[in-house]
Amino acid sequence: SAENIDAYFDCVLGLTKIAGELIREKVKAGVKVNTKDCDIDLVTETDQEVEKLLINGLKTNFPSHKFIGEETVASGQKCELSNSPTWVIDPIDGTMNFVHAFPHCCISVALFIDAAPVIGIIYNPTLEQLFTAKKGQGAYLNGEKIHVSKVATMNKALLMMENGTSREPERVKTVFANHQILIPKLHGTRTLGSAALNMAMVAMGAADAYFEFGIHIWDIGAGEILITEAGGVVIDPVGGPLDRCSRRVLCASTNDLAVEFTKCLQQYYPMPRD
Ligand code: LIP
């Protein structure tokens, strides 16, 4: 019910603010870095600490809820998206930025019910940008309503795109191919280093599109509801509905713009599903 959603939202927002304070302190103090899949796939103790803080806090309040967290999955837990209420958590999206004190990392947390997001929070504690969305209630930045842009053609579009953290040769080739294909067709491209913040830029109309191959459900869960509540579209890069565990995403301010992208993107498929 709507009352439940409000209670879930208030609880997770409180925890997110506490976690944000922790991130701000660690950015000041400097952090020790470990690696995951390859030498540019980074993780820090803070990623793990923030994830624990959020999961423990939510579990205490909502003991029946399920969790999918980036670091819990990295430590071996299966990523299972059922119809039960499930919190999908990226404790620090943009860990590379966090490690370098580049001021664009965030906490990204979403509540999924029936396998679709109903709450999304993206919080950049360094720049104090708090993006929030609840299903059917619009999208907000620091309490003010946000909307996607009206851009409907690539020749007027600013695209968020990432190089990704894989050095797998075929993946890298696709990244370069897409730069070559897309740049001449666009106004320009930008890279924030965080899938969630890239999506937030589309939601607030500061950018017009974003796509990535290789992302995970925790990178895009909150971003999906933020963009759809801001009036935009989130689909599969080949066209058709988003497959949330497929490691692929395309977002745009308008459906026309999304369709134009699906026609010229070089696609990439060979990734294990979440
Ligand atoms: C990162 C993303 C970034 C993407 C990387 C990585 P992390 O998340 O947000 O946009 O290019 O592949 O997934 O690892 O910092 O949470």
The full set of domain ranges for the chain reads 2-146, 154-264
For 84-96, the pLDDT digits (tens) are 999 999 999 999 9
Residue to mutate (ligand 1; options 39, 48, 167, 219; most atoms within 8 A of CB): 219
Residues 6+ apart with CB under 8 A from 252: 148, 202, 208, 209, 210, 232, 233, 258, 261
194: Cβ below 6 Å to ligand 1?
A: yes
| SS3 annotation, 71-104 | HHHHCCCCCCCCCCCEEEEEEEECHHHHHHCCCC
Global pTM reads 0.96
256 catalytic per annotation: no
* Ligand 1 pocket member 20 (CB < 6 A): no
- Cα–Cα distances in angstroms (integers) from residue 83 to residues 76, 247, 249, in the given order: 22, 19, 21
- Residue 98's contacts (CB-CB under 8 Å, 6 or more residues apart) are 23, 26, 27, 31, 44, 46, 92, 105
Return the pLDDT at 130. Answer: 98
User: Is any ligand 1 atom within 6 A of the Cβ of residue 229?
Assistant: no
Q: Does the beta carbon of 195 lie inside 6 Å of ligand 1?
A: yes
Question: How many whole angstroms from 66 Cα to the centroid of ligand 1?
Answer: 23
- CA 13 to mean position of chain CA atoms: 17
Q: How far is the CA of 60 from the centre of ligand 1 (A)?
A: 29
CB neighbour burial string for 130-155, b if at least 16 within 10 angstroms, e if fewer: bbbbbbeeebbbeeeebebbebbebe
Residue from 44, 95, 126, 228 carrying the catalytic annotation: 95
SS3 category, 54? helix
Per-residue pLDDT of 95-125, as tens digits, reads: 999 999 999 999 999 999 999 999 999 999 9
Rounded Cα–Cα distance for residues 250 and 208 (Å)? 11
71 pocket-lining for ligand 1 (C-beta < 6 Å): no
SS3 17: helix
243 flagged as catalytic: no
Q: Which two three-digit tokens encode residue 194? A: 């965080």
In whole numbers, what is the pLDDT of the chain averaged over residues?
Answer: 95
Q: How far apart are CA 251 and CA 199, in angstroms?
A: 7
Q: What is the pLDDT of residues 192-215, one digit of tens each?
A: 999 999 999 999 999 999 999 999
Q: Is 95 a catalytic residue?
A: yes
Mutate to test the pocket of ligand 1, among 215, 218, 249 (most ligand atoms within 8 A of CB): 215
pLDDT, residue 25, reads: 93
* pLDDT at residue 31, as a whole number: 80
The answer to whether domain 154-264 has CATH 3.40.190.80 is yes
Looking from the CA of residue 41, the nearest atom of ligand 1 is 14
**Of 92, 107, 121, 225, which one is the catalytic site residue?**
92
Q: CATH homologous superfamily for 2-146?
A: Fructose-1,6-Bisphosphatase, subunit A, domain 1 (3.30.540.10)
Question: What angle separates helix 195-203 from helix 217-229, to the nearest 10 degrees?
Answer: 10
> Is 6 part of the annotated catalytic residue set?
no
How close is the Cα of 254 to the center of ligand 1, in Å?
A: 24
Q: Is 90 a catalytic residue?
A: yes
Give this complex's ipTM: 0.93
